[in-house]
Amino acid sequence: MTLTQKLIKNFTLIFTMLLSLNTSFSQSNFTISGHVQDSSSGEQLLGATVWCENISIGVAANIYGFYSLTLPAGKHIIMARYIGYEPQRFEVDLSSSVKMEINLVAGTTLGEAVVTGDAFNKIEDVVQMSKMEIPIDQVKRLPAIGGEVDLLKVLQLLPGVQSGGEGTSGLYVRGGSPDQNLMLLDGVPLYSVNHLFGFFSVFNADAVKSMSITKGGFPARFGGRLSSILEIHMKDGHMKEYHADATVSIIASKLTVEGPIVKDKASFMISSRRTYLDILIKPIIARANNNNPDVTTDPRYYFYDLNGKLNWKISDKDRIYLSAFTGKDDFGIASSNNIGNSSSNLDFGLDWKNSIQALRWNHEWGPRLFSNLTSTHSKYQFNTGMDVLDISQDQDTIRMAALYTSGIEDIAARIDFDFAPNANHYVRFGANFTNHTFTPGATAIDIDFGSSNLIDTIMGPDDIKSNEAFIYGEDEFEIGDRLKINLGLHASVLSVEDTAYYSLQPRVAMNFRLPKGYALKTSYARMAQYVNLLTNEGTGLPTDLWVPSTARIRPQQSWQIAVGLAKTYGEIEVSLEGYYKGMDGLLSYKEGASFLFSTDSDWQDKVTQGIGNAYGTELLVQKKHGRTTGWIGYTLSWSNRQFDEINSGNWYPFTYDRRHDISFVITHDFTDKWTGSAVWIYGTGRALTLNESTFSAYVPDGESNSGVYSFSLEVPSEKNSFRMSPYHRLDLSLTRTKNYENSSKHLIFSIYNAYNNLNPFFALTDEDDNGNPVIREYGIFPMIPSIAWRYSF
């Protein structure tokens, strides 16, 4: 019997036992279960809390809004809560298990959603640490570059999460690199989340219901990445009425439409966004080209994305979701030059696109057992190329074309179960299988001379296929009144090139209630990662390549321990966390290596593996409710790397090692019409390597080495031993809202970099006024004011 067969057998046995537990339970306890949803739209409220006031126990709804709370027979007072919604209190008299759909009413403003008393799910109540959620409504009210709200840029404002540089959307979480973030859109991994070379992310806020990021203490249900789990859930679609939301900004326009297909049974949501710089400049380009019709230049750039979701409630126990996303960036320039009968045409292009599809089936096996079966497809592809066509006076043609392609495609299936045997235990278990196909860079070359095809070939490494699977089980339970524990195990396997890698990853998280309402939290998590992003640090371009672990490239692994204190003071949550993360199997280009347009057959010869660590302290003071909301975040951190073949084998600071990182985020409702927000951030300058000195050298030249060929060589500094200037910036935003009976209009003014600080983006060798060489930092983004208009009904 193979290992996989054993796993399936054991998994089936456990499931059968749980199913019998689910139906035959002690008659002194009964279960209240169902969904927590928005009363007007039917949207599932994931993470909403259901709390039994008289015996002080409760649960949080899972990511599908399902809850299950087992209580002793008799009368109970139940309180249901969710951020931005009126709390709902009701009484139940349990003499049998009951199914109860809880419908919460949205507050007209955030200020009306008041959480008081011994509210469950306060920061000091939950076991999970290092996880942060920001309500989408709050995200939409924050300042945005060009008026285009970006979810990832908001996440960069949280402690422990850093940006890659001015304007970019890359996330560097607790000293990890961007490929170590598992970015899940409706449970499907996205491999590239950048638009416009990283200045925007692919997540359209209008289509999103919720987002959260977990930086440590990973529950066993997550795996496959070392540094963070980003969960973004699309809206399900309004179950009762049709609604639309349109936004016009200086960069892009968006339209979101949602509504019922069959009222209270099925709904849809579709949201699209497109930039229009290419359309706006077309008349200007056409006018410029008209001056000389024989010489034309036609630059282009646009991006679009399209989110869609169908939600079908088949029965009280079954629900199906179909989610899809596609997005593309297209950059290029075409030029032509005509002289008489001859012409010369050049077309350079660079595009990258993502698409995902997910089909999910929720099923309630009983009041205490819930399952979700998901099948997904995810594809990312990057192309760049050039096509040159020359036609001579004699109509002879010469065509030379090169196209470089890379990408990754996943087909996956996953099953998850939530089992709540009693009020003190919440068990999750499941399994996942993913088939990866990697295209680690192939170059197609086509050269034609008239009728003869001289070269028509594809060079580069072959596609690589791998299979990744994991099973997990976790239980969240209480010991006494003060200790809550989440204990789990995640076991994964990768099969690639006749090699198998196995990984057992224990996960533990504990919450110990201290006197005076403080909670001491600690967690330990081992993680393994079987996909790698080969990137030249700092560029953040889509030329980055996804490559798998192979027989020669061992998987990345990490272990992370975190300790923290948490407490809520009135409406203000405060958490202080310290962490240490060790990493192994990190992948990097060897010094001097690059991948673009490489025709080498084996990319593995160009990379090297090493180790790393990251440690630091994070402070978060957050106010989620009331007229004034926001947070203050501070991170003190270190992140280092060591590769035998880089920097002479010495440890060096990671490019995004940032000693201090501070963010102030505030949003205030001045009146019902006016809302203002401000963001101020400060970060230690980025580490960089510069050529520090120079010397003369030679190589022998000529037959019998009788001469020399001499030259100057530059000596780079110790890797990343220089620092750019600190980064700091203030963004402001002011929104005017006009509410009508069935619609509302919003006019949004925002200013990026309000006090016009020139932040460093890159460094170059230059000359001063006296002609002496100097190294200068250059900034690119001045103050950018913008305006956007939004209409929704």
Partner 1 sequence: MKSLTFPTLVTFFIVVSTLSSCSKFFDGVVQEIEFPEHTPRIVPTLIVNDEAERIIALVSSSASTLDSEGPQVIEDAVLTISNESEILYSMDENNLFDGLYILELDDKLGMLEGPITLRVESPSFDEVSSTSTMPDKPVYTVDFQESADTINNVWGFDILDRYTFNIETTSPSSKHFIIKFYMKYIDLYTEEISDWETMYSYPSFDPRITLNYFINGVMIYEESNSSSATSLNDLAINIQRYSEYFTIVERKVVVEAISDDLFKYYMSLERIASVDFQLFSEPTLSYSNVSGGFGCFGLGSVTETIIE
Site for partner 1 in 622-641 (CB under 8 A): none
**Dist. CA 83–CA 85, nearest whole Å:** 6
Q: 51 is written with which tokens? A: 């709390």
Q: Segment 571-590, which members bind partner 1 (CB under 8 A)?
A: 588-590
**Backbone phi, psi, residue 373, to 5°:** -110, 125
Of the residues 326, 536, 642, 737, which one makes contact with partner 1 according to CB under 8 A: 536
**Dist. CA 383–CA 540, nearest whole Å:** 16
Q: Which is nearer to partner 1, 265 or 745 (CB)?
A: 745
**Segment interacting with partner 1, rule: CB under 8 A, options 17-25, 316-324, 622-630, 760-768:** 760-768
749 contacts partner 1 (rule: CB under 8 A): yes
**Dist. CA 181–CA 173, nearest whole Å:** 8
Of the residues 336, 405, 437, 539, which one makes contact with partner 1 according to CB under 8 A: 539
Of the residues 231, 468, 476, 537, which one makes contact with partner 1 according to CB under 8 A: 537
Cα distance from N-terminal residue to C-terminal residue, the chain: 59
**Segment interacting with partner 1, rule: CB under 8 A, options 177-185, 465-473, 556-564, 673-681:** 673-681
**Segment interacting with partner 1, rule: CB under 8 A, options 222-230, 382-390, 423-431, 531-539:** 531-539
**Segment interacting with partner 1, rule: CB under 8 A, options 209-217, 413-421, 422-430, 769-777:** 769-777
Could you write out the DSSP letters of every residue in 122-167? -TTT-S--SEEE--HHHHHTS--GGG---HHHHHTTSTTEEESSTT
Q: How far is the CB of 179 from partner 1 (least distance, A)?
A: 16
Q: How far is the CB of 329 from partner 1 (least distance, A)?
A: 18
Binding-site size, partner 1 (CB under 8 A): 86
Of the residues 23, 26, 650, 765, which one makes contact with partner 1 according to CB under 8 A: 765
Q: Which is nearer to partner 1, 375 or 604 (CB)?
A: 604
118 contacts partner 1 (rule: CB under 8 A): no
Of the residues 93, 481, 703, 741, which one makes contact with partner 1 according to CB under 8 A: 703
Q: Segment 66-85, which members bind partner 1 (CB under 8 A)?
A: none
Q: How far is the CB of 644 from partner 1 (least distance, A)?
A: 12
Q: Is 197 helix (H, G, I), strand (E, B) or coil?
A: helix
**Dist. CA 438–CA 603, nearest whole Å:** 12
Q: Which is nearer to partner 1, 118 or 602 (CB)?
A: 602
Residues 445-484 as x/- pattern, contact with partner 1 by CB under 8 A: --x-x----xx-----------------------------
Residues contacting residue 791 through CB under 8 Å, at least 6 positions apart: 245, 246, 247, 743, 744, 745, 746
409 contacts partner 1 (rule: CB under 8 A): no
**Segment interacting with partner 1, rule: CB under 8 A, options 45-53, 577-585, 616-624, 772-780:** 772-780
Q: How far is the CB of 731 from partner 1 (least distance, A)?
A: 13
**Segment interacting with partner 1, rule: CB under 8 A, options 268-276, 350-358, 520-528, 732-740:** 732-740
Q: How far is the CB of 207 from partner 1 (least distance, A)?
A: 29
Residues contacting residue 698 through CB under 8 Å, at least 6 positions apart: 708, 709, 710, 711
Q: Is 225 helix (H, G, I), strand (E, B) or coil?
A: coil
646 contacts partner 1 (rule: CB under 8 A): yes
Q: How far is the CB of 46 from partner 1 (least distance, A)?
A: 35
699 contacts partner 1 (rule: CB under 8 A): yes
Residue 220 class from Cβ within 10 Å (0-12 exposed, 13-18 middle, 19+ buried)? Answer: buried
**Dist. CA 219–CA 60, nearest whole Å:** 15
Residues contacting residue 548 through CB under 8 Å, at least 6 positions apart: 436, 438, 464, 466, 496, 530, 531, 532
**Dist. CA 668–CA 674, nearest whole Å:** 9
**Dist. CA 684–CA 438, nearest whole Å:** 36
Q: Which is nearer to partner 1, 761 or 791 (CB)?
A: 761
Are 743 and 129 contacting, i.e. CB atoms less than 8 angstroms apart? no
With tokens 């899972």, the residue in question is 62
Q: Segment 541-570, which members bind partner 1 (CB under 8 A)?
A: 541, 543, 552
Q: How far is CA 318 from the centre of its chain?
A: 29
Residues contacting residue 106 through CB under 8 Å, at least 6 positions apart: 38, 39, 40, 84, 85, 86
Of the residues 10, 56, 292, 601, which one makes contact with partner 1 according to CB under 8 A: 601
**Backbone phi, psi, residue 119, to 5°:** -55, 135
**Backbone phi, psi, residue 139, to 5°:** -60, -40
691 contacts partner 1 (rule: CB under 8 A): yes
**Segment interacting with partner 1, rule: CB under 8 A, options 51-59, 349-357, 594-602, 611-619:** 594-602
Q: How far is the CB of 656 from partner 1 (least distance, A)?
A: 15
Of the residues 395, 498, 715, 740, which one makes contact with partner 1 according to CB under 8 A: 715
Length of the chain: 793
611 contacts partner 1 (rule: CB under 8 A): no
736 contacts partner 1 (rule: CB under 8 A): yes
**Segment interacting with partner 1, rule: CB under 8 A, options 421-429, 556-564, 622-630, 666-674:** 666-674
Torsion sign, CA atoms 647, 652, 657, 660? negative
Q: How far is the CB of 595 from partner 1 (least distance, A)?
A: 9
